[in-house]
Amino acid sequence: MNDRVLGALLTIGGLAFLIFYLWWLFISPWSWWAVALPVLVAVGLLAFIGMWIGWTMATTPPPAPIEEKPLEVPVAEEKPSKKEA
């Protein structure tokens, strides 16, 4: 699908949803649900993310401890110098 066609479809879909939502919020007899349902979805998503993080933390094994090794300082090799006699 062409990018321009996809962009036009997304624009038309977004505009149609906005018109529907404004009708739902201000005109329809179920306007309470127009507020309650998005809030319910947002709270549910936040709870799901929190549960996912908790599950990951609870089931991930701890990392192996890092052993401390003494710091090895490399010794610079001396180059023989040419001495003129």
Closest among 42, 24, 44 to 34, alpha carbons compared: 24
Q: Does residue 7 lie within any of the structural domains?
A: yes
Q: Is residue 21 part of a domain?
A: yes
Structural domain includes residue 26: yes
pTM of the predicted model over 0.85: no
Three-state SS string over the chain comes to CCHHHHHHHHHHHHHHHHHHHHHHHHCCCCHHHHHHHHHHHHHHHHHHHHHHHHHHHHHCCCCCCCCCCCCCCCCCCCCCCCCCC
What domain range is 32 assigned to?
Answer: 3-58
Q: Specify the number of domains making up the chain.
A: 1
- What's the pLDDT tens digit per position in 11-66? 999 999 999 999 999 999 999 999 999 999 999 999 999 999 999 999 999 988 88
